Each structure stands twice: as structure tokens, then as C-alpha cells.
A and B are shown apart, each in its own frame.
Chain A
Amino acid sequence: MKLREKARLMSETDIERALRRMAHEIVESNKGLKEVVLVGIQRRGVFLANRIREVLRQIEQEKVPTGELDITLYRDDLTLLHDHPVVHSTSMPLDITGKRIILVDDVIYTGRTIRAALDALMDLGRPSVVQLAVLVDRGHRELPVAPNFVGKNVPTSREEVVEVRVTEIDGINEVVICEREA
């Protein structure tokens, strides 16, 4: 499947500003950062969570514990895939029971990834609250899942793909929208 880049939705600066605003919203919504734990969803969500943590450290002078969550083994579409997604690591810095978890992902689309992430979290412990922060919401939900903190809402068609790029993986920070080529 080939993708053709159509347009750039967010520049590096746009991303930084959005994450900064979301960090403020997280502090406001949780009335501070007590018991808050950031959990980035593999792979790009992890890097975004790290950035949010950095912003929170700047604005509240607090180091928020941050974990990584791989949801591959909880996917509901494993039997339908031809290629096998590789499993990445899952590691929590502490027991999540009783904590206020902020799941962080790059894009929310059908909502199935978040459903899998919730199942994975529940097997790790019993958080008191789970909230969701995404950089891009591109619509077309198939499950009743809604993000609490959104960087940018982007209406898309099903033939389009939204790609969040981070320097750690892609060498650049930007969000682009692509189209599947015939």
C-alpha cells in the first residue's frame, strides 16, 4: 500500500503549542498532579508522553512517573492480520492501582487501540481514574471511546491516513495527512 502525502497539518511549533496546552488541561482537570501517572502507548505515544512530562515538570516543577504500554497482545484483530506486528516492551515505574492514569497516544481513530489499552491496563492493576490524551482526533469512532485532551481535531475520510512523525523515529516532528494510492 503506497501513501501519497497530501498536506502538513501541524508543524513542529504547532505540536509543541498543542502539547503545552494539553499539559495545562491535565493539571486543571486533575486539580494538580497528585497520583497522576502518564502511560504512553507504543510506539509514538511513548515519545509524546515524555514530552508532556517535560512540560509538566516545567510548569508544576513535578516529575510525573511515566510508563510504556504495548497493546499488541490485546488487539481484537490479530487473526485478521497477514503480517505479524512485533511486540514491544511494557514497563510501569510503579504499581498503577489507585493511580490517575493519563493514556497518551498519537492518533485516535476507531477507538479499538484504546479499548485494547484499557484491557491491558486492567491486567496490570486497578487505576482509580483513566483519562485519554491524543495529539490528533481524526473521527470515525467504532466504539464508545472519547478522548479527554485533544491536540487537534481533523476531519478525515477513510481513504486518508494521519501520520504523526517524531524525531526519535522519523527524524522530524510534524503531522501530515496522506492518501492511499491505488
Chain B
Amino acid sequence: MRMEWKHRHVLDLKDWTREEILLLLDQAKNMDDLMDRPIKKVPALRGKLVVNLFFEASTRTRVSFELAEKMLSADVVNWSASGSSVGKGETLRDTAWTLEAMGADAVVIRHGSVGSAHYLAKKLHRASVFNGGDGAYSHPTQALLDAYTAWKHFKNLEGRKISIIGDILHSRVARSDIRVFRELGCEIVLSGPETLMPLDVKALGVSYEPDPRKAVSGSDIVYLLRIQRERQEEGLFPSLDEYYLRFGADLDLVMHAKQEALVMHPGPINRRVEIDSSVADGAQSRILQQVRSGVAVRMALLYLCLGGVMA
């Protein structure tokens, strides 16, 4: 079966249709099976150069991309730029042109500035850009691996309810997950302190419920976001302890969801802040499956976007 895959880049999920997401999930399934083989390698991207350009510290996402790239036999270069991109050293524009000159076929970028992946894509004529996270806007591969994890379990996501608890305001994971799950037909409720919510939740197509127990009621998936210490230091909520008391996912909170509900978290988890160990390590948790899904989903994206673009 042949089909047109029209995305050269994966910057955000704004224009992805339901059909495209489902195709991606289907392809991820076949990539997933590769991980059970004795030889976890196929030659599909042999000779392609992929550069991992990580301006923000990240082990999990970078390693996950790296595994996916290597399993497809691509050549991998890791370019970590520690320190901020504001005026220190080379500008992103110059970095882009350098990468192009080096012959990169794909660049995976994680950067603190919203729109940095879009910016890079505008500057590159040939290479594909994969957004590994840009500020608080988008983390499309995370959302797709979350969708894959849920889809593998439920098979059909239409009409399901998802509650997302935590710091939505600063979360690219939340924004991307909202996009992907809405496109797949889910209903989404947000919860957490109002100081950590965006002003216009309607614009996102979701609703807000300040009481997490109410928010979680009837949910098929309880999705927890990481709480960052910096937000507490900014004065947006008084203490991590109080956060855990009001919004932390312990067995009591999760009990309010459906009995077969899944618990998900993008990782790394803060035990006793947004989630209790009994839940993180419990039967409903899909946190480790999400990690495995990440490699499969990223392989599928690399294959679809990089194969056969040049005639």
C-alpha cells in the first residue's frame, strides 16, 4: 500500500489529521516489534546523517531518539549546546547553516525558545526537523508516544476521557497531548492550581476543574505532569508539600477514575510531589511502556519523514 506522507518536518501537531495520526500509530506498531528481535537493526536509513541538537539538558528524549536513529542504521551525531542560546556563542541561524553544510539529513532539536524548531525549519532547505521540545509550546513526539501507548491498550480512543493534572501553563507536553488526543476524539479535563493554568482553556478545546477528584472522575487516562521547583520559587503555589496534598496522585485520587484507567507521566517523575510511589509503580501505571513507545514512535517518524523525499 502506497500513500502520500506530506510532512517533511515534525514541528507541532497543529495540522495533523486523524488519518495521519492513525497511520503513524500503525507504523509505530511495526517498529515496536523490531525491538524484540535478536538483531535490533534495519538498514532503512543507512547513509543518512541525523544530528541531535539539544540546547536543553535531556537524557531520556535524546537517548530515545538516538536509539531510534541507530536502529534504522542512520549515522548519528550528538551536538549538545549547554548554556543559553541568548547571545552566547553561535546563533541558531549560523548553526543551521553549518548543519546544512555538513550534509545533515535530519536535525532533532530541543531548545528553550518557543518557535525554535519552526525557526530552524525555515532556515534549512533540505534537512527534516524534528521538534524535541521548544519552550512551553510543543513536544510532538511525546504526544504521539503517549497516544501510541494509550492506543495499544485501548485500541479505540474515540470518546474516551482524559484528565491532565499539573502545571499546564508551562507545559509543552500538555499542549501537544491535548492536540493529539482531541484529534483522536477524546474529551479532556485539566486540573491543578489555577495559577498554573493558561488564561484561555477554551482556546485549547478543553475544560478546567479545580478539584482533581472531580476532574479524574470517569477518566480512562489520568495524565500527570511534572512539577518544577522553579514554579514554586516563582511564587505560583506555596509549597511542594501543599501541592502534593491537594493535587498529588495517590491511590485515593486514582480510585476516583475508572477502574481500568491508565496512569501516565512523561517522566522523569517526582515521587511525592505529583505522584505517589504506589501509583507510579502500580498496575495501572504505563510510565515504563511510554518509554518503550518512545523509541518505536520516533522510528516511525524518522522512517516516514526521511525515506524517499529526494527523487
Contacts and interface: CB of A to CB of B under 8 A. Distances in A.
A129 B304 CA distance: 34
Interface string B9-51: 0000000000000010011011101000111011110000000
Q: In the complex, which range does the number of interface residues on chain B fall in?
A: 20 to 34
A125 B41 CA distance: 13
Q: In the complex, which range does the number of interface residues on chain A fall in?
A: 20 to 34
Interface string A70-114: 101111001111111111111100000000000000000000000
A89 B27 contact: no
B79 interface: no
A87 B5 CA distance: 13
Nearest to A87: B30
Contact of B33 (A74, A84, A90): A90
Interface in A26-84: 43, 70, 72-75, 78-84
Interface in A115-138: 119-120, 123-125
Nearest to B41: A123
B308 interface: yes
Nearest to A169: B1
Given A74-B42, A124-B37, A87 B27 contact: yes
B4 interface: yes
Question: Per DSSP, are chain B's interface residues mostly helix, strand or loop, or mixed?
Answer: loop
Interface in B161-216: none
A88 B30 contact: yes
A100 to B, nearest CB: 19
B31 A84 contact: no
Contacts of B125: none
B2 interface: yes
B307 interface: yes
B303 A87 contact: yes
A79 B39 contact: no
A30 B310 CA distance: 45
Contacts of A73: 42-44, 72, 303
Nearest to B42: A73
A78 B39 contact: no
Contacts of B27: 86-87
B86 interface: no
Interface of A: 43, 70, 72-75, 78-91, 119-120, 123-125
